[in-house]
Structures are given as structure tokens and as C-alpha cells.
Amino acid sequence: MPGFSPFPPPRGVAPWRWWLHFVASSLVISVLLPFAFLGAYILVSEEQQEYAKLKRSQNWQATQGYIVESFIDERGTKSFAPLVVYSYQVGDVQYRSNRILFSVKRPKFDTREEALRLLEPFGEFRDETSLKLKDRIEVIKAQAGRNRHTEVFFDPANPQNSTLRKEYKVNEPYYLFGCGLPIFLFVCVICVTSVLSWHRSIKNGEYKAAVENGGT
């Protein structure tokens, strides 16, 4: 069988235009792949940097914090993102943060139950100060008696850097996209250039001529 572009066809069988397609395909691959690998490198580097923060946090100090607001952001049937805002004091300075754990992107889950586990043990709270007076009263009554305090871990060298959990969550789709992008792009280029090469050779009768001249 004659050659499969962009891989070179057998010598003496394929027309010279097939070799031209092979060279062109190689140039396209050599230009696009470095950008794909660069993107993958950046994504993997972000994961490594965030994981390094987790390792450093093992020596952070603990203090008591106050949950200002915590809830589940529901976007679609399989996108539940836990969100939280908490305050804490170090010395005479009051700080605010929204980090629950370490992750390159905001953690998302397929079910509401999984997302709620990340808000344990304090659960969901509404920020009363952002509500109208009538709604504020109802929310305060509903949340009365519930414990809004939680342990906060902060960096002694930089107290505004904090977390509620010394844990790490890998964003699988994000990570797999970065690693699989170069391979996916490589396969796409091969498929597109191969289809174009075969289409042209069949249309011009070059494929038939190559077979009749001894292609195997």
C-alpha cells in the first residue's frame, strides 16, 4: 500500500508531491508542538508550585477564625464549588481569606454532598450584612446558635497567607488537559494532513498510478 502522509511513502512508488506534503506536515508539527509543550509545562509548573505551598503549610501556626460566609456555588447539574470567606486575627491585625485548601483552580465536585464535606465542620452560612433588613433578621434567626468559629492555619512569616485545611486537591481535567494537549495536537495534525494528502492523490489519479506501478 502506498505511503501514509505525513509519513514518507515507499521509495520509487509515491509521487514527489507526497514528499512535499510530508515536509509541510513536519514543519507544521515542529512549529505548533513547542507551543503545546510550553502550555503543558506551565500547567504542570502551577501544580508543582501549589503543592510546594502545601508542604510549607505543614509548619504554619493555628488560630481561631470566624466564618463570615460559606455556601455552595451551584452551576449546572455536576458543578458544585464550595466557597467560603473567613476572618482571623494575628496580633493586632485582622485578616480575611477565602482559601479552603490548596488547589490551582477552585475545587469543584459532581455532587452537592461532596462539596459540603469540604465545608465541615462549620457548614453553610449567609453573610447577613449583605442582605436587606427583613431577610437579615430571618437569616440571623435561622443561624442562631450555630458555631461559626473554625481553626485557621496561617503563615507566621506572612500572616495574610492562610488556609482552613492543610490538604491538596488535584484538578484532574485541568491536569490531564495540560499533559494531553501536545499529544492531541500531534494526532490532529497527522490526521488532517494525511486526509488532505490522500484526497489529493486519489483525485489526481496519483494513487491509482502508484499502485499500478508496483505499490504494495
d(CA 14, CA 4): 10
- First and final CA of the chain: distance in angstroms? 4
List C-alpha distances in Å: 11 to 18, 20, 75, 197, 216: 11, 14, 57, 17, 11
Residue 69 CB burial class (10 angstroms; 0-12, 13-18, ≥19): middle
When the pLDDT of each residue in the chain is averaged and rounded to a whole number, the result is 76
Q: For 22-31, what is each residue's pLDDT tens digit?
A: 666 666 666 7
pLDDT for 22 equals 61
Q: Which residue has the cell 504494495?
A: 216
**Tens of pLDDT, residues 64-92:** 999 998 888 887 677 888 999 999 999 99
SS3 call for 3: coil
State the DSSP H helix or E strand holding residue 28, giving kind and residue range, or none if neither.
helix 16-57
